[in-house]
Chain A
């Protein structure tokens, strides 16, 4: 039982941290995709969508090669911060962040596309610069879509398995999340423990999706 609480809190914490981490770049990229034309846009679009379509384990392998002891990013982080990433809780955050990033970017893009451009244009003519228009018009009007997208990304992070297992392994008390835990317990033959984790996972996912739906359907202010 103590284990279950620990795993649940760890999973929630990791999902929350990864969602907060991807929120600023996800919102910025969503806006850039919705509102600007720039060279390389198609390439970036494809890259961002990639984790959605290739097997999560494959994404995990890419991350492992990047953040491994001899991987370019792994070496960089080791040299600059003196920190090791793989097979620690940080690797779990990176895996969930990468896997849920596409969902957030897509939601953000749609949310910004739904803001009438006319309103942004008129705001400019009223004397507001691009930043003020973004923060006082675009962002508030896209708020619901952005919130719903964040909840979706959070839910995705809660259930992430394939990429996580590749770069974080399954270290009890260190990197085991709800999803990894279910697999781990079943492997050990502890079906009842696995069922407990399953119950918590379902409850959390249900709550997150319901929240996201509610945010999207709520009448505009």
Chain B
């Protein structure tokens, strides 16, 4: 299913939105700081806001075509929308909320049946409760379930985890991954948290000041931001798939090809598949080979400089240490170490800077 945004324009006071994009993939992340236009774009796709110009197409369905006067109402779009606060109807029970979304013609739809959706999101025990009595995490699960019951062709999740604390977030991520894998509904996932992007999304689009700056596979956007502006917003990170070897307590050993890394992760059993490691480029320290004795960093990697990119005051150093690693250094540091392609160096990374993210 492809979501096509063609010349979508909206002017609202000093803020203007202008988007051309073709979003595909199972889960596409929409990344940007607050005020970047993420929510506005989501509302345009849901049909809750009319753009001043442009075309919005979902697959072959024309949802909006301003020039031809087409504006399909929200109820006829098949686009599910879960806002940050969940927006549960306070006067209805959880079950009432779900029934509201059930389409009469859809009763036969087995996949999106209430039973299926409730089981998947683990909310069967909440059915009789009122929204006011639910915890933040439960509320979000119910909101997502309600959107699914309406059998959407596209699911818009607008910062669904933003209102939750870290623990609740970690608890709800697996449910989102199940939604992604079990229902096959394409998801547009709005967030400004890199970890959520990495854990859920295949593709991501970076939005700033109402413009789309970069769109590509998640790993690529984090590793090679299209411009310094994108790098500032998302931060440069090395993102690579790893294999979990095992761990003691919080410390987990993983392997990337022949290279071993030690990182921090929550209970990842050995052999867990589909795990990513992410290392922020500014967390990578470079030293001359052989001078790493007596250093506290758990990860000491011998590598070769492959390329250097100067971006303002900083230099992005691309390294090969069995996998491609990116480091961010000041120009002074690069000069002192006499870094140039082909030069051998030692990269140091503290274990807490090696973030392990389970995608399965």
Contacts and interface: CB of A to CB of B under 8 A. Distances in A.
Interface string A118-130: 1101111111111
B6 to A, nearest CB: 22
A159 B257 CA distance: 87
A125 B80 contact: yes
A109 to B, nearest CB: 20
Interface stretch (B85-93, B177-185, B261-269): B85-93
B74 interface: yes
A121 B75 CA distance: 9
A126 B90 contact: no
A140 interface: yes
A124 B100 contact: no
Contacts of B47: 124-125
A220 B150 CA distance: 27
A220 to B, nearest CB: 7
Interface in A152-178: none
A128 B103 CA distance: 9
Contacts of B80: 125-126
Contact of A137 (B73, B89, B101, B146): B89
B198 to A, nearest CB: 28
A136 interface: yes
A95 B85 CA distance: 46
B23 interface: no
B83 A126 contact: no
A118 B101 CA distance: 15
Contacts, number: 60
A126 B48 contact: no
Given A116-B87, A141-B90, A122 B81 contact: yes
A141 B91 contact: yes
A118 B48 CA distance: 9
Contacts of A221: 90-91, 130
Contacts of B103: 127
A129 B90 contact: no
Contacts of A124: 47-48, 73-75
A123 B43 CA distance: 13
Nearest to B100: A126
| Most chain A beta carbons < 10 A, residue from B75, B77, B80, B146 | B75
Contacts of A125: 46-48, 74-75, 77, 79-81, 147, 150
Nearest to A118: B87
A137 B96 CA distance: 12
A126 B91 contact: no
A118 B90 contact: no
A116 B87 CA distance: 9
Interface in B40-94: 43, 46-48, 73-75, 77, 79-81, 83, 85, 87, 89-91
A135 to B, nearest CB: 12
Nearest to B81: A125
A126 B46 contact: no
| Most chain B beta carbons < 10 A, residue from A125, A127, A136, A220 | A125
Given A122-B81, A122-B83, A127 B75 contact: yes
| Most chain B beta carbons < 10 A, residue from A119, A121, A126, A136 | A126
A118 B91 contact: no
A13 B92 CA distance: 35
A127 B77 CA distance: 8
A48 B100 CA distance: 36
Contact of B150 (A127, A129, A137): A127
B75 A128 contact: yes
A138 B331 CA distance: 60
A117 to B, nearest CB: 9
Contact of A118 (B73, B74, B83, B147): B83
A208 to B, nearest CB: 25
26 contacts: A116-B87, A118-B83, A119-B89, A121-B46, A121-B48, A123-B100, A124-B48, A124-B73, A124-B75, A125-B47, A125-B48, A125-B150, A126-B80, A126-B146, A126-B147, A127-B75, A127-B103, A127-B150, A129-B75, A130-B73, A141-B90, A141-B91, A220-B90, A220-B132, A221-B90, A221-B91
Given A127-B103, A128-B100, A221-B130, 17 more contacts: A119-B89, A121-B46, A121-B81, A123-B89, A123-B100, A124-B73, A125-B48, A125-B79, A125-B147, A127-B150, A128-B75, A129-B73, A137-B89, A140-B91, A220-B90, A220-B132, A221-B91
Which 3 pairs show the lowest CB-CB distances between chains A and B?
A124-B74, A126-B101, A125-B81
Interface of B: 43, 46-48, 73-75, 77, 79-81, 83, 85, 87, 89-91, 100-101, 103, 130, 132, 146-147, 150
Interface of A: 116, 118-119, 121-130, 136-137, 140-141, 220-221
